Amino acid sequence: MTDILITGASRGLGLGLAEHFLERGERVHHLGRRPCPLTSERLRQQSVDLADLDAIPAALDALDPPRPELAILNAGVLGRIQDLAETAMDEARSVMDINLWANKAIVDWLIRKRRSPKQLVLISSGASVNGNRGWGAYSISKAALNMMAKLYAAEMPDSHVVAYAPGLVHTAMQDYLCHEVDSERFPSIRHLQNAYGSEHMPDPRRAARLIADSFATCLQQPSGSFVDIRQLAT
Ligand SMILES: NC(=O)c1ccc[n+]([C@@H]2O[C@H](COP(=O)([O-])OP(=O)(O)OC[C@H]3O[C@@H](n4cnc5c(N)ncnc54)[C@H](OP(=O)(O)O)[C@@H]3O)[C@@H](O)[C@H]2O)c1
């Protein structure tokens, strides 16, 4: 039985991953705002709003996970799809805090406590490299996360670190993208709308199986790499 630390397992991909690892008999330590709805004596959790960066170390003290075999820093927000010039600074800052700086607070705690995970997966996105119109603060936060993986890789010789794009997963994020965003103004959305409801956008449970299986393959890449599951598959 191994210890897995995961953030944002209340729903979506994080929930799918937590379920997958619990079914595999692992111990899951969940840090998130709302609770993970699963029931298991191998599930431990601590609630924290990851936007509240100063609250993260105390939440981790309370969760007190042992050195994880695998840490998946998954929690994230999309923000609204809109032009960067229309994005209020507060909104951009909030996306950066949750998608980037909260992960720094978590990794720093693990390093300080000498509990650096054997494998650290920072959940990134294809948007970190695509630079499509409208993905503003989200794209910037995930691009910075890719760089953060590289920087921590150099500082954490006993950990294997990747920034990992999970491909399309049918979650609330995709519901918003496919139903509420104007694809005339933001044409990159069309690709998502075409995949919506098809095998090209699996539900979180199915996606979690594929993603978790690919983590072993990630270890073959240099620590600090950006890995996209779609490139691993080809
Ligand atoms: N879905 C996709 O196709 C896709 C594609 C590429 C990358 N990703 C990435 O995959 C990750 C998971 O996305 P998802 O699609 O599963 O999204 P989701 O369904 O919206 O779930 C997001 C998770 O993050 C948590 N979270 C958000 N803000 C938080 C905060 N302030 N404090 C604590 N937890 C917070 C949510 O908790 P609450 O329930 O408390 O809000 C939830 O558990 C994200 O990093 C996303 O960028 C997803």
User: Which residue type, as a one-letter code, is found at position 99?
Assistant: N
Q: What percent of the chain has pLDDT over 70?
A: 99
Alpha carbon of 41 to ligand 1 centroid (Å): 24
Q: Whose CA is nearest to atom 24 of ligand 1?
A: 75
What are the φ and ψ backbone dihedral angles of 119, each rounded to 5 degrees? -130, 130
Question: CB neighbours of 181 closer than 8 A, spacing ≥ 6?
Answer: 81, 134, 189
Q: How many residues does the chain have?
A: 234
160 inside domain: yes
In the structure encoding, which two tokens stand for residue 85, read together?
Answer: 């010039």
Q: What is the pLDDT of residue 54?
A: 98
Model pLDDT for residues 140-190, shown as the tens digit of each residue = 999 999 999 999 999 999 999 999 999 999 999 999 999 999 999 999 999
**Which of 74, 80, 194 should be mutated for ligand 1, with most atoms under 8 A from CB?**
74
Nearest CA to ligand 1 atom 11: 74
Q: Give the distance (Å) from ligand 1 centre to CA of residue 132.
A: 20
Question: pLDDT per residue over 190-224, tens digit each?
Answer: 999 999 999 999 999 999 999 999 999 999 999 99
Token pair, residue 16, equals 């799918």
Pairing of strands 119-123, 43-47: unpaired
User: Per the structure, how many domains does the chain have?
Assistant: 1
Confidence band for 232, pLDDT divided at 50, 70 and 90: confident
55 lines ligand 1 (CB under 6 A): no
Which residue bears the tokens 């948007």? 127
**Is the CB of residue 175 less than 8 Å from the CB of residue 78?**
no
Q: Provide the pLDDT for residue 33.
A: 98
Is 150 exposed, middle or buried, given 0-12, 13-18 or 19+ CB atoms closer than 10 A? middle
**Range 86-109 average pLDDT:** 98
Q: Give the pLDDT score at 233.
A: 58
| 218 lies in some domain | yes
Within a domain: 17: yes
CA gap 26, 3 in Å, rounded: 6
Residue whose CA lies nearest to ligand 1 atom number 42: 8
The answer to whether position 211 is within a domain reads yes
Q: Is residue 188 assigned to a domain?
A: no
pLDDT at 125: 98
Q: CATH no. for residue 21?
A: 3.40.50.720
Q: Looking at the domain assignment, is residue 187 inside a domain?
A: no
**Contact present, 187 and 193 (Cβ < 8 Å):** no
172 CA closest ligand 1 atom index: 19
Q: Are 47 and 206 in contact (CB under 8 A)?
A: no
For residue 195, report the distance from its CA to the centre of ligand 1, in Å.
19
In a domain, 194, yes or no: no
**DSSP 3-state of 126:** coil
- pLDDT tens digits for 17-47? 999 999 999 999 999 999 999 999 999 999 9
| Cβ neighbour number for residue 157 with a 10 Å cutoff | 9
Please choose, from the candidates 183, 68, 182, 173, the residue with its C-alpha nearest in 3D space to the C-alpha of residue 120.
68
Query: pTM score, two decimals?
Result: 0.98
The backbone torsions φ and ψ at residue 132, rounded to the nearest 5 degrees and listed phi first, read -75, 150
pLDDT of residue 234 exceeding 90: no
pLDDT tens column, 5-21:
999 999 999 999 999 99
- Which structural domain, as residue segments, surrounds residue 15? 3-167+204-233
Please identify, by atom number, the ligand 1 atom nearest to the C-alpha of residue 13: 16
Q: What is the pLDDT of residues 109-147, one digit of tens each?
A: 999 999 999 999 999 999 999 999 999 999 999 999 999
Assess contact for 167 and 228: CB atoms under 8 A.
yes
Distance 153 CA to ligand 1 centre (A): 24
Is pLDDT of 103 > 50? yes
